[in-house]
Amino acid sequence: MAIKTKISQATIFQTVRSSLIHAVNSGDLKIGEKLPTEADLASFFNASRPTINKVLRSLAQDGFLETRKRGGTIVLAARGISLSIREISDHVAAIGKSYRFTLENYNKSQCGDEGIHWPDLSKGTALLELECVHFSNNIPIQHEKRLINLDLAPEANSVDFSSMSPGRWLKNYIPFPSVLQELGAVGAGASLSELLRVRRTTPCIGVRQIIKKGDEFISLAELTSPAGRFQIHSLYEP
């Protein structure tokens, strides 16, 4: 029970943080605008106040927000950092190496099933669970764990994902104008280390990717690559 609570709180933290970053970068939250109180944010996101406080502190450290005495928390500015993360097969082709992938898991489920956490969707939403490992010259460079919302992308039901990667299919067949990606550092656990052929606790780059069409959520993915095997380029525009 303690483990489930810990996972749930971590998921809520990431969801709230991602939502606020998107609101700042999209202009929904204007520069100089005062945020609602922690109590109001906790009620809106159905989160605890300590979780909201942790999110606000992390965003303040990253320069998105500023907390002022008696002045509340205000928006500083959208961070002008554009991360370019190509579809993995395009990345491998661009560096002149051979690409392949393996489909490790394919399963249909519903939001709310055991182990399925996607707070942005209603309980019972039909989902497709996919797990892949991507290779460059037969060296595993990325683990992909993805959920696809079948209510919005029912075409995914008939796709042979053993021959076409989920990222490639989404890029080619589902038009989506909004992609939110968050980076973090993670250590390879037992299962991940085996799939990526690295030692346990090997430092990895983790990308949490949310694909939306308007206000609708199409796909949620966790992309994990051993440090040194995959490059992410960024451009800063003040």
Could you give the residue ranges of the DSSP H alpha helices within the chain? Answer: 2-26, 38-45, 49-61, 88-94, 166-173, 190-196
Q: What's the confidence (pLDDT) of residue 234?
A: 46
The rounded distance, in Å, linking the Cα atoms of 66 and 227 is 32
Rounded to the nearest 5 degrees, what angle is found at the Cα of 42, between the Cα atoms of 39 and 48?
105
Q: Which CATH number fits domain 84-236: 3.40.1410.10, 3.30.830.10, 3.90.850.10, 3.90.420.10?
A: 3.40.1410.10
Parse the chain into domains and list their residue ranges: 2-75, 84-236
Q: Are 13 and 55 in contact (CB under 8 A)?
A: yes
Q: What's the confidence (pLDDT) of residue 198?
A: 93
Instruction: Identify the residue with better confidence: 11 or 111.
Output: 111
At the topology level, CATH places domain 2-75 in Arc Repressor Mutant, subunit A (1.10.10)
Q: What's the confidence (pLDDT) of residue 175?
A: 66
125-180 tens-digit pLDDT: 999 999 999 999 999 999 999 999 999 999 999 999 999 999 999 888 776 657 88
Q: What's the confidence (pLDDT) of residue 8?
A: 46
Residue 232 pLDDT grade (very low, low, confident, very high; cuts 50, 70, 90): low
